[in-house]
A = this chain, B = another copy of it.
Amino acid sequence: MRCKGSVFIDKVNTFAKIIQNILKMSLMVVGSVAFDAIQTPYGQTDKIIGGAGSYICLAASYMAKKQNLVAVVGGDFPAEYVEILKNHGTDTAGLQIKSQEKTFFWSGKYHENMNSRETLITELNVLEHFDPIIPPQYQGTEFLMLGNLSPIVQRQVIERLAVRPRLIVMDTMNFWMDIMMDELKKTIALVDVLTINEEEAQQLSGKRNIVEAAEAVMAMGPSAVIIKKGEHGALLFGKNGQVFATPAMPLRSVFDPTGAGDSFAGGFIGYLASKGETSFETMKKAVIAGSVIASFCVEKFGTERLVNLPQADINDRIEAFIQLSQFGSTL
Whether A329 lies near B326 (C-beta < 8 A) is: yes
**Given A284-B327, A326-B327, A250 contacting B243 (CB threshold 8 A):** yes
Does A186 reach chain B (CB closer than 8 Å)? no
Cα distance, A45 to B326, chains bound together (Å): 39
Per the 8 Å Cβ criterion, residues 215-232 of A in contact with B are 229, 231-232
Does A165 reach chain B (CB closer than 8 Å)? no
* Nearest-neighbor residue (CB-CB) of A254 within chain B: B209
Whether A250 lies near B328 (C-beta < 8 A) is: no
- Min C-beta distance of A178 to chain B, whole Å: 21
Cα distance, A330 to B281, chains bound together (Å): 13
- Within the complex, which residue of B208, B242, B271, B328 is in contact with A285, where a contact is CB–CB below 8 Å? B328
Per the 8 Å Cβ criterion, residues 305-331 of A in contact with B are 318, 322-331
Whether B288 lies near A327 (C-beta < 8 A) is: yes
Whether B235 lies near A289 (C-beta < 8 A) is: no
Residues in B with CB closer than 8 Å to A284 are: 327
Does A253 reach chain B (CB closer than 8 Å)? yes
**Given A209-B252, A232-B232, A252-B211, A243 contacting B324 (CB threshold 8 A):** yes
* Nearest-neighbor residue (CB-CB) of A63 within chain B: B331
- Within the complex, which residue of B247, B251, B329 is in contact with A245, where a contact is CB–CB below 8 Å? B247
Interface size on A, residues (CB 8 A): 42
Cα distance, A252 to B237, chains bound together (Å): 13
A139-152: CB near B (< 8 Å → 1, else 0) gives: 00000000000000
Does A233 reach chain B (CB closer than 8 Å)? yes
- Min C-beta distance of A168 to chain B, whole Å: 23
Does A48 reach chain B (CB closer than 8 Å)? no
Whether A246 lies near B325 (C-beta < 8 A) is: yes
Residues in B with CB closer than 8 Å to A322 are: 329-330
- Within the complex, which residue of B113, B235, B326 is in contact with A328, where a contact is CB–CB below 8 Å? B326
Whether A271 lies near B233 (C-beta < 8 A) is: no
Does A138 reach chain B (CB closer than 8 Å)? no
Whether B211 lies near A235 (C-beta < 8 A) is: no
Whether B250 lies near A211 (C-beta < 8 A) is: yes
Q: Name 12 A/B residue pairs within 8 A (Cβ), A-sorted.
A: A112-B208, A209-B253, A210-B250, A211-B250, A212-B252, A232-B232, A244-B323, A245-B250, A246-B325, A288-B327, A288-B331, A326-B326
Residues of A bordering B, CB below 8 Å: 112-113, 208-212, 229, 231-233, 235, 242-248, 250-254, 271, 281, 284-285, 288-289, 292, 318, 322-331
Further pairs besides A233-B245, A244-B323, A326-B327: 11, Cβ < 8 Å: A209-B252, A209-B254, A211-B251, A212-B252, A229-B232, A244-B327, A245-B250, A271-B331, A288-B331, A289-B331, A322-B329
